[in-house]
Structure 1
Amino acid sequence: MKTLHTPLAVMALAALTLLGACQDKPEPVAAAPLPIIQNKQLRYPAGHPQLPLLVSTAATKAQSIQIDLPAKLVWNEEKTQRVYPAFAGRVTRISADVGQTVKAGQVLAELASPEFGAAQADTSRAQADATLAKLALQRQRELFEAGVVARKDLEQAEAEAARSQAEVARAQARTSLYGSGTGVNMQLGLRSDMAGVVVERNLNPGQEVRPDSAATPLFVVSDPSVLWVSIDAQEGDLKDLRPGAKVSLNVANGPEQSMTATISAVTDQIDPSTRTIKIRATVANPQRWLKNEMLAKVRYQRQVDNSIEVPASAVFLRGNQHYVFVQSQAGVFEPRDVKVAYEGAQRVLLSEGLQEGEQVVSQNGLLLARELRIAQEAAHAAEPSKP
């Protein structure tokens, strides 16, 4: 059986297809109206979908602000000695180890040193020469009194005796500086000149050491009960961080309670690479929880003289001028220039341009800045061109 395609049937089929296509097409969605510029204010219509994104925060008055500065714990250099070899030699005995308490003058290690033996031999030779010169002087004096020799010979003997005594004093002072008495034994003792704790040891038995290659000290003796705190400060911190000022010291994974450090010295120069000023403080460490080279954070309260505090996310920079967005009423935002007194990672202090209680945009301010620029360009394009 054949199907007849009449013109009327074809037209009906096309009409049904067109009707179905029209029914599947989605309804057009009305675009949100754009904000407008009016009296230098950006105005959003009520119910605009971007308004919930623009979160505002009230500006508050601040009397002081908490300042955190990076710091590092180091040995107290006033109570620290680094022991280096004065002569080349080989380590024969080590009598002190890390963590051991030592007294002033205690031998930490001994070296077999031919160079030190030569210094000891010089001392013995100087003593022998001095003895001979003393005998020669005594003989010349007796001959002079007997009228056998001239005064010139006596004076020459006296000068020679004086020179020999000076040489003995020099040689003895050199060997006595390193703990040697009389005799030649080539045993050089490495001594600590101060009482403390051995905090570092960098030698082993049988090791050969030389003064010209000892970049690292063989021993470091220090008093770990008092440490120095090296603080990296900014120029604005100098007013508060003066010698005698107290700061709070916090160490990660250290004691739960913060410790008090006292500022002891402030350098007179700025580091050209980091633009920071080195400040030194001292902190008591009776329990020896704090360690050398431990990173820390120093905290103090800076007086700010009634500044206005806002979140750091609310402040923007245009060229060299800071500004914020102030919400005067619902849906109305105004850019306002401000002067920054202190800029921290979380909070910013303003000295001019904002009053306490005013609402500033603290979230999605970049979106607001973009919308402001678009509205300004649209308003400028809509202005009639001047002849």
Structure 2
Amino acid sequence: MMAPLLSLPARRLSARGLLALAALGAACALLPGCGKSGAEATATPAEPAPPVMQAGQLRFPSGHPQLALLGTVEARAAKDVAVDLPARLVWNEERTQRIYPAFAGRVTTIQADLGQSVKAGAPLALLASPDFGQAQADTAKAQAGQSLAQQSLKRQRELFEAGIIARKDLEQAEADAAGAQAEVARAAARTRLYGSASGVNQQLALSTGIGGVVVERNLNPGQEVRPDQSGPALFVVTDPTSLWVQIDARETDLSSLRPGDPITLQVPAYPGATFTGKVTATADAIDPGTRTIKVRGVVPNADRRLKAEMLATARVQESRAGGVVVPASAIVLDGTRHIVFVRRESGVFEPRKVELAHEGPAEVLVAAGLQPGEAVVNQNALLLARQFQSMAEDTATVKKETP
């Protein structure tokens, strides 16, 4: 028994595809030599002579009506092949900031909400933070110590000039003053990084370091926060006019996904619309489970139609040095083999085993078994395959019954 035959697109048949196959079955039932015995096919003298199998080829007589159903197309040399890859849109991390608390505290005021545009340095929320107050107090203490060290240095210099103290005492005072000044710089830099460097008010502002739009807010008034707490950032600010696209590519696609290469995106939310971008980086390791590699691209989004976490299809043009391209409808799956039907001459067809290098939704790349310019059946190839199978079974039955 021969393996069941499937066309390549039949792996993802839609309702329309099922109706098309039903129509093909009806057409096959009406044609001579397709699923009928020779006696039935020639029962009416007015019908044309049936096709015959000869040397592995199916030969149709001139003018046979089934020839009108078998559309053909020439295999073309592979140059550029459009390849569709699964992708996902995410925030551009080069234009995104996630804000966490530097000190423990309690939220007192929310000053920015989702969707709000903010400028760099703008406060998003205020915390009452005793820990930050301690840092402010340390700064004030360091400033007082510096003032005392400067006064001591002034007295020691006067005493040295009067010859009352030794030089080593003056040098010690100078070192103490320099140390006090360094401590003020350290403490002030710490408090200035997170808020005011003067005064002690325990008010810690959560500020954004970049301009953009608030796209996440994960805190509420009265909430206690800590620097070591797990969970999402308190705020996420980003520039949504530029997005990253994360592409799951196969090993064979890497040659066409170099930094700077163009990509075209399609998203289900906007049927028929395309968005262009370019590849920016490729990962250095392949996922051992999926055998895919992460490729990152950037997509301009000035009108902000695209949203983060949208699923997309990334189309890239792959340059192929060898092989030929044929429509996916020309490929018939016979068990584990891929078959095409080549038109050798008018009305003469033969099956040909081929090896595929890439399968796309509309076209496939044939690596071996087919030459550019050869005509292959791309319309009703499955009908022809079933006719080959039927005639082969009839021939085998006749040979078996012949003594």
TM-score scaled by length of structure 2:
0.73
Residue pair 1:262, 1:281 contacting (<8 A) in 2 also = yes
Aligned-partner Cα distance in 2 for 1:32–1:377: 13
Q: Cα gap change, 1:134/1:383 in structure 2, threshold over 3 Å: closer, same or farther?
A: farther
- The runs of 5 or more residues in structure 1 that have no matched partner are 1-30, 47-51
Q: Secondary structure at the match of 2:381?
A: strand
Aligned residue in 2 for 1:87:
103
Aligned residue in 2 for 1:60:
74
Aligned-partner Cα distance in 2 for 1:153–1:161: 13
Q: Cα gap change, 1:150/1:338 in structure 2, threshold over 3 Å: closer, same or farther?
A: same
Aligned residue in 2 for 1:362:
381
CA deviation after TM superposition for structure 1 residue 378, in Å: 7.4
CA deviation after TM superposition for structure 1 residue 380, in Å: 10
Aligned-partner Cα distance in 2 for 1:143–1:69: 81
**What letter is aligned with 1:260?**
T
Aligned residue in 2 for 1:6:
none
Aligned residue in 1 for 2:217:
201
Give the CA RMSD over aligned residues: 3.6
1:130 to 128, 140, 146: 146
Structure 2 residue 158 is matched with structure 1 residue 139? no
Q: Secondary structure at the match of 1:205?
A: coil
Find the structure with the greater CA-based Rg. Answer: 1
- The runs of 5 or more residues in structure 2 that have no matched partner are 1-35, 39-50
Aligned-partner Cα distance in 1 for 2:314–2:72: 29
Q: Cα gap change, 1:380/1:113 in structure 2, threshold over 3 Å: closer, same or farther?
A: farther
Aligned-partner Cα distance in 1 for 2:365–2:114: 49
After TM superposition, the structure 1 = structure 2 runs for residues 1-387 of structure 1, keeping only pairs within 5 Å, are 32=37, 39=55, 41=56, 58-62=72-76, 63-254=79-270, 256-304=272-320, 307-311=324-328, 314-316=331-333, 322-324=338-340, 326=342, 334-355=350-371, 356-360=373-377, 362-363=381-382
**What letter is aligned with 1:309?**
V
Number of equivalent positions: 346
CA deviation after TM superposition for structure 1 residue 258, in Å: 1.5
Residue pair 2:74, 2:376 contacting (<8 A) in 1 also = no
CA deviation after TM superposition for structure 1 residue 358, in Å: 3.6
CA deviation after TM superposition for structure 1 residue 330, in Å: 10
Residue pair 2:280, 2:297 contacting (<8 A) in 1 also = yes
Q: Which shows bigger deviation, 368-377 or 123-132?
A: 368-377
TM-score scaled by length of structure 1:
0.76
Aligned-partner Cα distance in 2 for 1:383–1:155: 121
Q: Deviations over 1:229-278 (max 9, x none)?
A: 22222233333333223222212123753222122223333233322222
Q: Secondary structure at the match of 1:264?
A: strand
CA deviation after TM superposition for structure 1 residue 327, in Å: 6.5
Aligned-partner Cα distance in 2 for 1:36–1:257: 49
Aligned-partner Cα distance in 2 for 1:336–1:90: 74
CA deviation after TM superposition for structure 1 residue 285, in Å: 1.6
